[in-house]
Amino acid sequence: MSETLPNPDLVVALPRLRRYARVLTGDVHRADDLVQDTLARAWEKRRLWRAGSDLRAWLFTIMHNIHVNQFSMRQREYAQTSLDADDSAAAGWEIAVRATQSDRVELSETLATIAKLPVEQREVLMLAAVEELRYEEISTVLGVPIGTVMSRLSRAREKLRRMMGESASTLKVVR
Amino acid sequence: MAVLDEELHAYADNQLSRGRAEEVAAAIAREPALAARVAEIRRQNAQLRDAFDPWLAEPLPRKLLAAASGVCRRSQWQPIALAVAASLLFGIGLGWIGRGEVLQRAGTPVTFEREAALTHALYAADPNRPVEIWAAEEKRMVSWLSKRLAFPLHAPDLNSVGFALVGGRLVAGNEKPGALFMYENADKQRISLFVRKDAENARETGFRYAYENGVGVFYWIDDACGYAITGRIDRGQLLAIARIVYGQLAAAEAAAPKQ
């Protein structure tokens, strides 16, 4: 059995880890610190990774746990934190938006709206809709029962839908 | 048969078992309200991916690259790791909106064939999610991609040469998006057809061959639309497949009603 992580895969996962970190922290710099902590932990625990299983989900699990621990250490109200409460954090999202060339207004509106969701809803949306993890994997990543994953996902989608509907009729997605 | 709300989510996310998915699909066909819910969830998913995917193309800080490559300089991680990393990242940046920038930074012109090669390299290497929509939903996939690209697309049938359709995905472009159809044979080799129509493809070409980073590309540009058949397979085999694709697309076009 392999006792090491498949190294190139770890590098391949890097952009996704950064993205997830940014969704969790809402801040580019804190996100990169979180990625670094996650990679360090992954190296320490590399023997626990089961070869053949989804490396991405395993890394997200580690990242989620580090993030939750760091947050409780700071005595923040983890589930209640939304990015609009903190302008400097919200700015972290904008940097990424600037990098995109097309559909800029629509994308930045989408990002700004998501930033207003509580972190638990942001992360479940991220994992289900963007990363397309299986619900069972999401349940493992977040350390909650699958029923909780489903109810969070359902609430997050409903809330986002309402907020997007409110923000402007121009936000209709072109299909 | 009642459909639970969470089953609608699971259906929209392609996570239901095959049998149950068929039952839900039948219920959706009967109930427009259910269909609208599923469409809404999928539209939202696409919207989220459109918003977040560009982040993947951002340049990575050196310290993270080093950390991912195993900073602890133990024997198992050779210096080649970084080289591998660099080339993989190069490919990764590619699938996304920012990839034009990535390519230009590398000092290479962004040509259609180069883009096809790198897009293929990026997605064909992904064991779990090479496509956005699987071949099981081929019809829906083709009509969705046709809508997004704003012209009718066809997924050629390559079963005669042993390649089955895996599925397809939308690929970001500078000006307009492109579509990628992925195929796989019994040996798990993958080839793809990349299609994109935009002003950058103003030039017209006959069949051409390009070779980029170990990936062969047969491509042609026709009426501002570029087509590329791409894969890590033998050049002769690739050409034979490109001819089949060309023939099928020409036949489909001839059969299409004139606009």
Q: What is the ipTM of this complex?
A: 0.80
Helix, strand, coil content of chain B in percent (nearest 5) = 50, 15, 30
Top pLDDT among B94 and B212 is at: B212
B63, B84, B129 member nearest A132 (Cβ): B129
Name residues whose C-beta falls within 8 Å of residue A19's C-beta, 6 or more positions apart in sequence.
A126, A130, B52, B55, B56
Cβ-contact A165, B44 below 8 angstroms: no
Average pLDDT of every residue of chain B:
79
Tokens 């207004």 sit on residue: A105
Q: What are the chain B neighbours of A35 within 8 Å (beta carbons)? A: 64, 67
- Chain-centre distance of CA A29, in angstroms? 15
Position A50 pLDDT exceeds 50: yes
Q: What are the chain B neighbours of A21 within 8 Å (beta carbons)? A: none
Smallest CA–CA separation between A170 and chain B, in Å?
A: 14
In which band, very low, low, confident or very high, does the pLDDT at A8 lie, cut at 50, 70 and 90? low
- Chain-centre distance of CA B82, in angstroms? 26
Q: What are the chain A neighbours of B97 within 8 Å (beta carbons)? A: 99-102
State the Cα–Cα distance between residues B155 and B142, nearest whole angstrom. 7
Name residues whose C-beta falls within 8 Å of residue B43's C-beta, 6 or more positions apart in sequence.
A173, A175
CA quadruple A18, A24, A26, A30: dihedral sign: negative
**What pTM value is reported for the model?**
0.54
Top pLDDT among B98 and B177 is at: B177
State the Cα–Cα distance between residues A66 and A72, nearest whole angstrom. 10
Mutate to test the interface with A, among B50, B69, B140, B200 (most CBs of A within 10 A): B50
B46, B89, B128 member nearest A11 (Cβ): B89
Q: What are the chain A neighbours of B47 within 8 Å (beta carbons)? A: 110, 164, 173
| Sheet containing strand B208-212, strands side by side | B133-134, B164-171, B178-184, B190-197, B225-231, B215-222, B208-212
State the Cα–Cα distance between residues B165 and B243, nearest whole angstrom. 17
A19 contacts B55? CB cut-off 8 A: yes
